[in-house]
A and B are shown apart, each in its own frame.
Chain A
Amino acid sequence: MTKDNSPLIVALAGNPNSGKTTLFNNLTGANQHVGNYPGVTVEKKEGFVKHNSHNIKLIDLPGTYSLSAYSIEEIVTRNYIIKNKPNVVVNIVDASNLERNLYLSTQLIELGIPVIIALNMSDMARSHGINIDTELLSRLLGVPVIPTIGHKKKGMDKLLEAIISLESNDKAPQPPEVNYGKEFEEEICGICRLLSKDGKVFNGYQPRWVALKLLEDDQEIQKLVEALPDSEKILETVKTAREKLETLIGDETVAIISDRRYGFISGACSEAITLTGEHRHDISDKIDLALIHPVLGLPIFAGLMWLMFNLTFALGEAPMGWIESGVSFISDWLSSALPEGLISSLLVDGIIGGVGGVLVFLPNIMLLFFSIAILEDTGYMARAAFVMDRIMHKIGLHGKSFIPMLIGFGCTVPAYMGSRILEDKTDRLITLHVTTFMSCGARLPVYILVCGAFWPENAGNVIFSIYVLGILVAISMVKVLRLTRFKGLSAPFIMELPPYRIPTFRSLLIHMWERSWLYLRKAGTVILGISIIMWFLMTFPEKETFSQDYESLIQNASTHLDTGVITKDQKDSLVSDYNNQMSAESIEYSFAGRMGKFIEPVIEPLGFDWRLGIAILSGFAAKEVVVATMGTVYGVGETDEKSESLRANLANDPLYSPLVAYSFLIFVLLYMPCMAAMAVFLRESGSWKEVFYQFLYSTGLAYGLSFIVYQCGKLIGLV
């Protein structure tokens, strides 16, 4: 019984793709992710709903197929239910796929918590010729069964009614238990008797459930029992029981238990389901004939990816331009409105320059996420993983790893976030560690600039070689990591291929927005902070005396213009030259310049001087900042990658050669990810240790390869 002020706690549990998240959204109105890709909901999500003066707090548990302790999702789900004891568990069951879904239901019922089954997508089941007698099913399972249609918001009120009435009904009917057979039941009873003497230890664990888990050899529960005073006796009994049952029935207990569960389910289903007409093959079958076709599958996949990237960049161009002009409008306005000085410089160069540079990528990122949402919500992503598993497996990764790696060509931040689809922690960490080498969009401006300066005829090929190098490094690093830090094979590929669905526009938008928001928030927090630091390092200490008196030189130029010695154009170009030389000198004098000089001896074997050193350091803020910094350091003022004067400066600098340039490109490709990516890396890997490892080994690899290339090049005379 709950008082009016304390809400009913209701947990939603169900298989991936059962429509759980859609139902959660319908009930709470909360905006969050609806996916069609197995394992999309990994976090616990909460929401509130008020129904007839009852407050209900809903918890969206991760999608699971079972309650064994073999995946994070399963452990999260089962621990939540056992430890938090929700008032009711609503088990969302896909009606068109009843048997498999009820496998989880039988285990939820065994936990001894009030369960309500939401028979979801009952319309789809009917259209497949599956008619379910919900009343009979409810009687057979011993729990209320409420038909719902998630995407049409049907059955929601009835479901809420059922939750409230089940809660207010003290004597909920005791659901029938799955009968595991005479021999099994005897052993279960024996173990139960040993356990219930210490019943209080279990904190609501049903002795029968614990006995079953012990027979299944569940390590988590075993640990729990080991804390009991007579644990030895119990575990000994379990061991003999398991051996006895296995010799008697001739199979492992795990297998027997799952067989008996399915036996119970089949019995219930054969009574409650009537099939009208044959199970006709639906549209999914026809689509799958092409999409996972051994020959056609890969080209279709490649085509879709090509389309996705082209759309992302083509459609993103216009909004990118708007943001760019918006940012430059604000900075122009600010620099004219504010008196020249430190404040104006901080706001314009530091904050707006830094954050604006990151915001510019927002349209691309949103479009990329939108495309990914389409691939996920239609059900294609699982097919793509299926098709790619063959190749990825050879490399030593999981079929799903290609998704984050592919996104990595766009931006490393969402790519790291995408690694979440990998259930196995080792697979996820390896994918995170190598996704870094997929050359992201922000590194491209650097390549364009450098290649334009040194290989104007061949820029495209050189850039392509850098991309290929990134992929090769990623593949080799998977192998190296598998042999050293993460020994063993990748987790076996077992994946549901969910039925194809037409996603709703709303769910696509929610999906896109949730991920884009994370990126945007990063721009407002971490990147803002680092931008200010970078600005500080490049501004202070301020240089008082310059090699030439630029102020008076500029003054002179104005006088020359007034006296007609030079034209207006000549004057403007003189003034901007002076300004650029001044800022170059300032930078050299600043902390950043000193840091560049400080690391110069370290990077000298790579062919770099202190100016490239500053450029590399500033790339930590964001990779595209490298270009802007080079513009400042080489004293050519505001630049982009197409800047002719910067190119000319680079190409004509006696210190640089194509060899230095290539060594620099390799370094930029491989060294530590930018700060935004690092922040996400921390969140996704969950450990600072991995972040430091990533930082050190990527930068070490960049150093090593650049070193080898530069030194070997020098040996064979390519200076």
Chain B
Amino acid sequence: MNISSLFTSRSPRAIKANGDKLVLSDARVGQTYILVGLDAGHKLREKIASMGLNSGARFTIIANSGHGPVGLEVRQTRLGIGRGMATKIRVREVDEG
């Protein structure tokens, strides 16, 4: 993780100092990610899983402006996830190939 980016960039997409965890709200448009974990109660976990986002699911970001919900595509479905929720979803980048 690039520490200097914390100081040089005020962009909302800058990686936040959240341990070394990357969260969905920081994800870049067009990039593919894997869901690693979810800091939420099981009510929300089940709800999100039932819509296609379980841990290990691969998805691509279609919208994230740094404000408002994050749009993503998972299992051929598009979802909008509120920003509050998105900060609780831990993700890992996938090298496209």
Contact = CB atoms under 8 A, between A and B. Distances in A.
To the question of whether A and B form a pair in one complex, the answer is yes
Interface of A: 65-66, 68, 70-71, 96-100, 103-104, 128, 216-217, 251-252, 254-255, 258-259, 262, 279, 284-285, 288, 292-295, 382, 385-387, 389-390, 393, 399, 489, 492-499
Given A65-B51, A104-B50, A288-B63, A493 B57 contact: no
Contacts of A96: 76
Given A493-B69, A494-B80, A497-B80, A103 B63 contact: no
Chain B: interface size category? 35 or more
A212 to B, nearest CB: 12
Contacts of A294: 63, 65-68
Contacts of B57: 262
B39 to A, nearest CB: 11
A493 B79 CA distance: 10
Nearest to B72: A497
Given A96-B76, A258-B46, A492-B44, A393 B82 contact: yes
Nearest to A219: B43
B62 A285 contact: yes
A295 B47 CA distance: 30
A494 B79 contact: yes
A15 to B, nearest CB: 9
Nearest to A493: B82
A292 B54 contact: no
Interface string B69-97: 10100111111111111000000000000
A97 B76 contact: yes
B81 A496 contact: no
B10 interface: no
B10 to A, nearest CB: 17
A385 B77 CA distance: 17
B38 A255 contact: yes
Contacts of A393: 68, 82-84
A492 B84 contact: yes
Contact of A100 (B44, B68, B77): B77
Contacts of A259: 49, 54-56
A29 to B, nearest CB: 30
Given A252-B45, A494-B82, A100 B52 contact: yes
Contacts of B49: 66, 103, 254-255, 258-259, 262
B48 interface: yes
Contacts of B75: 97, 99-100
A258 B50 contact: yes
25 contacts: A65-B50, A66-B49, A98-B76, A100-B77, A216-B42, A216-B46, A217-B42, A251-B37, A258-B45, A258-B50, A259-B55, A288-B71, A292-B80, A294-B65, A295-B65, A386-B71, A390-B68, A390-B69, A393-B82, A393-B84, A399-B69, A399-B80, A493-B69, A493-B84, A496-B51
A68 B50 contact: yes
Contacts of B67: 294, 390
A390 B83 CA distance: 8
B80 A493 contact: yes
A386 B76 contact: no
A58 to B, nearest CB: 24
Contact of B50 (A66, A98, A255, A385): A66
A393 B68 CA distance: 8
B78 A497 contact: yes
Contacts of A399: 69, 80, 82
Nearest to B73: A285
A99 B42 CA distance: 21
Contacts of A295: 65
A689 to B, nearest CB: 26
A66 B54 CA distance: 13
A65 B68 CA distance: 24
Contacts of A385: 80
B46 A66 contact: yes
Contacts of A70: 43, 46-47
A294 B63 CA distance: 8
Contact of B52 (A99, A382, A492): A99
Contacts of B68: 294, 386-387, 389-390, 393
Nearest to A17: B77
A218 to B, nearest CB: 9
Given A100-B51, A255-B49, A255-B54, 18 more contacts: A65-B51, A70-B46, A70-B47, A97-B76, A97-B77, A100-B74, A100-B77, A103-B52, A252-B45, A255-B38, A259-B55, A288-B62, A294-B68, A295-B65, A389-B69, A390-B83, A493-B85, A499-B78
B81 to A, nearest CB: 6
A128 B77 CA distance: 13
Contact of A494 (B47, B55, B65): B47
